[in-house]
Amino acid sequence: MRIICTISFIALNIFGFVNCKDEYVPVLVWTSPDISEEPTLALNKINRELFTSYLTMKLSKNKPLIAVFTEQNLGAEDLVQQNRNLHYGFPFLSNTRARITFFPSVERPYEAAKELVRHGYKWREMDSEGNMNEGDSSILSMVFDSVDEREREETLRKHDEFMAGVTERLGKSGVPWMCIYTGLHSGNVHRGNRPNTWRVVPEPVFPQKPLYLYKDEARGLALLTKGPIRLHLPTHGNHTVRMLEDYFAASFTRSEDAMDLFLWFRRYNLTFCMSVMKRDWFIESVNVQNENGQTMKLWPKSGPRSEKCCTKTNEFQSKGRPVVKVQLEKYKVVEINAKCDVCVNNVTLPFLCTIMFASVVFIVLVWSTILRTYRIHTSIRSNDISVPICLLSCKPVIHPEMKS
């Protein structure tokens, strides 16, 4: 009897452990302009208590309306995948002007949002049409139905349209607002190891698979790299090279003349601080953060410069000690659909050769002119000096002894 009770107790504990296992789910948060960007969380994994504190601090100055959109299952690959036409699976979230903050791994964020009722909020449900009774101090919740895996991309696109409509209504309400998009469960648990479609199928113009980091439809530009990002770390006087190939998520914030691009890797996070012009941009600095939360700011090795097609390897390193360097292979900012994989083609090669030949001819002509002028001046100077010598030498010289 004791053995049966012991086995039952162990089984119940195991069952409870499995069912109570903490799940980490990605989260997107976007707000109205009057909501402070602070605080910021730079950890790879955020527990529920910390995320609840983060949301609570967002409410400290203003008490905004809150909309919570929740999928049954959501993975980081859902938020960064692209289709074959290189368009994001979430058109609204990709192109919205609102400030978006992406957290790749948060412990039970839906429950964390529910805990805000302790701060005087009322939990209200939205219907499938997005109709809602805002009221004051309301949390508007919409839990989407389960998604058929065969139609997942199209269904998520419809959810994106739904969130766009709700965000538009909140923007017209005239009060501060905050939106949260997350899932009840991690998508990786239910879908297994699904291939990440972020790495785009290469076109014939690209000899290697390009990794599109960001696409700006308004300016018609795309930021990409054809190779892994290399991180050089100091170790005992040498450098250990980390190949950052395990990229799995991206996010960005932008304004009229600046943009911050965030890349999440398994052990490191990179932030590219970029200045944006009308038809061009350049990286001002790169922030590197490791899994322990330690950060370092890096600057371009050769100073800021615009990046166009056919650029060489770009390096960014710290100005102090220790020296950490980030190296991007074939980093480019190109026009969308532009063919710029060949730096010297049939048109540019003759043009460059003509310029080089003309430069050589010009140098030779200038040098010949200088040399000819120098010889003429030398000849004139020699004649001027020889005339007096000749005149002096023509006068007879009589020795004193000869006078007698």
Q: Are residues 266 and 310 in the same domain?
A: yes
Report the distance separating Cα 35 and Cα 58, nearest Å: 7
Residue at 120 is within a domain? yes
Q: Are residues 235 and 376 in the same domain?
A: no
Per-residue tokens: 257: 């003349």
Residue at 165 is within a domain? yes
Q: Are residues 173 and 277 in the same domain?
A: no
Q: Are residues 260 and 289 in the same domain?
A: yes
| 338 neighbors 282 (Cβ within 8 angstroms) | no
Say if pTM beats, i.e. exceeds, 0.85: no
Residue at 108 is within a domain? yes
| 179 neighbors 113 (Cβ within 8 angstroms) | no
Q: Are residues 151 and 249 in the same domain?
A: no
Residue at 139 is within a domain? yes
Which 3 state secondary structure label does DSSP give 74?
A: strand
Q: Are residues 22 and 170 in the same domain?
A: yes
| 130 neighbors 166 (Cβ within 8 angstroms) | yes
Which 3 state secondary structure label does DSSP give 229?
A: strand
Q: Are residues 124 and 268 in the same domain?
A: no
Q: 372-394: b or e for each residue (b if 16 or more CB lie within 10 Å)?
A: eeeeeeeeeeeeeeeeeeeeeee
Residue at 204 is within a domain? no
Residue at 315 is within a domain? yes
Report the distance separating Cα 135 and Cα 142, nearest Å: 16
When computed from its CA atoms, the radius of gyration of the chain, rounded to whole angstroms, is 35
Residue at 266 is within a domain? yes
- Strand pairing report for 65-74 and 177-186: parallel
Q: Are residues 320 and 363 in the same domain?
A: no
Q: Are residues 174 and 296 in the same domain?
A: no
Residue at 404 is within a domain? no
Overall size of the chain counted in residues: 404
Q: Are residues 126 and 168 in the same domain?
A: yes
Other beta carbons within 10 angstroms of residue 238's beta carbon come to 9
Report the distance separating Cα 92 and Cα 239, nearest Å: 42
Q: Are residues 120 and 60 in the same domain?
A: yes
| 65 neighbors 164 (Cβ within 8 angstroms) | no
Which of 146, 161, 191 terminates a domain? The answer is 191
Would you write out the chain's pLDDT as a tens digit for each of its 404 residues?
Answer: 444 444 444 444 443 434 444 578 988 888 888 887 665 665 567 888 888 888 887 876 678 889 999 999 988 777 765 433 333 567 777 677 777 788 888 999 999 999 988 888 888 888 766 566 655 678 899 999 887 777 888 888 889 999 999 998 888 888 889 999 999 988 754 344 333 322 222 222 333 445 556 666 665 666 666 666 778 877 766 777 777 765 555 666 767 677 777 777 767 888 888 887 766 667 788 888 877 777 888 887 765 555 555 555 667 777 766 666 776 655 555 555 555 544 443 344 556 677 888 888 889 888 888 888 877 766 655 554 443 333 333 444 454 554 44
Report the distance separating Cα 401 and Cα 220, nearest Å: 104
183 HSE (CA, 13 A, CB side): 27
Residue 222's CATH number? 2.40.160.110
The total number of structural domains that make up the chain: 3
Q: Are residues 287 and 368 in the same domain?
A: no
Host domain of residue 362: 347-383
Look at the block and give the residue holding tokens 């799995």.
248
Which of 279, 308, 335 terminates a domain? The answer is 335
